[in-house]
Amino acid sequence: MTDTYPSLSLVPKTDIAITAKDFKSDQEVRWCPGCGDYSILSNVQAFLPELGLARENIVFISGIGCSSRFPYYMNTFGMHSIHGRAPAIATGLAVSRPDLSIWVITGDGDSLSIGGNHLIHALRRNVNLKILMFNNRIYGLTKGQYSPTSEQGKVTKSTPEGSLDYSFNPVSLALGAEATFVARTLDSDRKHMTEVLRQAAAHEGTALVEIYQNCNIFNDGAFDPLKDNETRDDVTMRLVHGEPIRFGADNSKGVTRTEDGHIKVVNVEDVGEAAIISHDAHAKDPGLAFALSRLSNPRTLENTPIGVFRDINRPSYDRLVREQISDVIERKGPGDLQSLLNGSDTWNVS
């Protein structure tokens, strides 16, 4: 277990066998029937036993929004906090408690609008957090306003003539924020999500997992091109580290480098297999990952990569904090309160 998940080496292991059922809390789940959140919840509950951790050492922290009700349904420690601040709260917990496996649950509004600042700083610091961002491209809990990932022109209650905001691409944003692990998966693809969660859990530092999640009430079908049997294979680019980037019905499409250094989607037979580039999630330079994140069409979802875009090694912030402290203690010895109070410049009144 320890070898599979080096990022969790300080977290105590469970001494009893636990299953998905053990992670279900006694709270009644109150998302709308048909919401994509249900499948994410059950996927996470099914995956967690694999980590073999003591349940009491797992913490889910969320912000505000539909997705952020998630911790209530997990039989672990959990905090449903305030809008956008979950990464900040989780950072304080992670720095002071290396013995915990900490998961942040957030949505596109929570993490990219009101909490955008905390998200990018958690990513650059590389705090040992696993951030699951449920992206449904809409505000659900406030009943249907456009979100920072809604496509430009989106007609909603707050934008009857269409939204004017240009949208965020969460993967591009995370890569620009120096993230060490960035992935994307789908609420409905259990196998894929589990594999992405596995890699995220193994990663030391902040792992951002964008989960395309259907809001069947306010933005139904937003990700249908990636889900419908007829279109799915044609638009979905499944990234696998070390493998040529090929997709399409008969793997007929691929990604190649252009003469001017960009990348583009081509028909494999037009350029030959040798011209198709392989995915390298471990590349130090985020250039390829970023270029891949730009391939998809935000409106039609054509050429949408899913999988792990980037997964590199950089010591986590919380580990560095602990090492700095223990290093100081090793060099100078533990502090003595009385000498601290005395300071260096005293005099006696007798």
- Which residues would be at the binding site for other proteins (CB under 8 A)? 12, 25, 27, 54-59, 61, 64, 71-72, 74-82, 85, 88-97, 99-100, 117-118, 121, 321, 324-325, 328-329, 332-335, 337-338, 340-343, 345-350
Query: Which secondary structure element, helix H or strand E, spans residue 266, and what is its range?
Result: strand 263-267
CB of residue 86 vs other proteins: minimum separation in angstroms?
8
Nearer to other proteins, 85 or 184 (CB): 85
Rounded Cα–Cα distance for residues 102 and 8 (Å): 10
Q: Strand 253-257 relative to strand 246-247: parallel, antiparallel, unpaired?
A: antiparallel
Q: From its phi and psi, is residue 143 left (phi > 0), alpha (psi between -120 and 50) or beta?
A: left
Q: How far is CA 239 from the centre of its chain?
A: 16
CB of residue 40 vs other proteins: minimum separation in angstroms?
17
CB of residue 102 vs other proteins: minimum separation in angstroms?
9
Nearer to other proteins, 160 or 334 (CB): 334
CB of residue 326 vs other proteins: minimum separation in angstroms?
9
Return phi, psi of residue 103, to 5°. Answer: -120, 130
CB of residue 346 vs other proteins: minimum separation in angstroms?
5
Rounded Cα–Cα distance for residues 11 and 58 (Å): 9
Nearer to other proteins, 92 or 221 (CB): 92
Nearer to other proteins, 1 or 155 (CB): 1
Rounded Cα–Cα distance for residues 22 and 1 (Å): 19
| Nearest by Cα to 58 from 2, 1, 5, 101 | 101
CB of residue 112 vs other proteins: minimum separation in angstroms?
15
| Nearest by Cα to 105 from 117, 119, 125, 124 | 119
Nearer to other proteins, 8 or 100 (CB): 100
Nearer to other proteins, 61 or 173 (CB): 61
